[in-house]
A and B are shown apart, each in its own frame.
Chain A
Amino acid sequence: MELRAARRGARLTVQLVGELDHHSAERVRSNLDHMLRDRTIMELHLDMRGVSFMDSSGLGVVFGRYKTLRARNGKVILSNVSPFVDRVFRMSGVYKLCERI
């Protein structure tokens, strides 16, 4: 899975491209956490447009980053969620925690 990051003010936008499963989650997690060491980031915007596959391991990645942002009074925003990814997201209740645009 490939990550493309762009910073704008307090918002970090990361475009995820490829399959988000347990195998790729490890790297996605450590890359995101590395970027989030910058404590001036208050919003993590995950652009899901390029996610061709996601299972419940992807939920762990989103929930984990939600906790990180929550702890600094920030938030996680999800966008361009495909119908397949949306089914997994909806089951998990993630939209109660993260904004969807």
Chain B
Amino acid sequence: MQRNRMELRFVSLSQNESFARAAAAAFAAQLNPTIEELADIRTAVSEAVTNAIVHGYDSRTEGIVTLICEISGDSFTAKISDMGCGIADIVQARQPLYTSKPEQERSGMGFAVMEAFMEEVEVQSAPGRGTTVTLRKRITR
């Protein structure tokens, strides 16, 4: 597989969480991943998209979430972006069990799941400007 790319833009409705992770997994299927690898991608993308909706846009619906998926060689990349509130302290946000919304029964395990299921998790964020999470995984078969 050489290079391929897709881009999705959708409003920040929770209904779109399943749609977004399914689309990312369907796109990644071109790399012939195992069922486990597909489940990893589906779950990690779900975490990042949910965060954009719940935290980035604080569960309001006027926000746009962008999901860009790329294939390059045997590498799969998903970039999930919002233009929401941003993260002031990224190191703290990535700590397992840290959540800024305990009252909404968030577990604080979203970043830990992304890190466990993908090889690389990069977070770019600035308060008031939004967040981009880049997830990377090599599919070697």
Tell me the nearest residue of chain A to B39, going by C-beta: A84
Tell me the nearest residue of chain B to A22, going by C-beta: B50
The answer to whether A88 touches B106 (Cβ under 8 A) is no
| Distance, CA A92 to CA B113, complexed state (A) | 9
Q: What's the nearest-Cβ distance from chain B to residue A58, in Å?
A: 8
The answer to whether A19 touches B50 (Cβ under 8 A) is no
Q: Which residues of B contact A87 (CB under 8 A)?
A: 116
The answer to whether A22 touches B53 (Cβ under 8 A) is yes
Q: Which residues of A contact B113 (CB under 8 A)?
A: 55-56, 88, 91
Q: Which residues of A contact B53 (CB under 8 A)?
A: 22
- Which residues, 18 to 61 on B, are CB-close (under 8 Å) to A? 18, 21, 36, 39, 42-43, 46-47, 50, 53-54
Q: Contacts A55-B113, A84-B39, A91-B116 hold; do A21 and B105 have CB atoms under 8 A apart?
A: no
| Distance, CA A23 to CA B106, complexed state (A) | 12
The answer to whether B17 touches A56 (Cβ under 8 A) is no
Per DSSP, are chain A's interface residues mostly helix, strand or loop, or mixed?
helix
| Distance, CA A19 to CA B14, complexed state (A) | 13
Q: What's the nearest-Cβ distance from chain A to residue B116, in Å?
A: 6
The answer to whether A92 touches B107 (Cβ under 8 A) is yes
The answer to whether B116 touches A21 (Cβ under 8 A) is no
Binding site for A on B (CB under 8 A): 14-15, 17-18, 21, 36, 39, 42-43, 46-47, 50, 53-54, 104-110, 112-113, 116
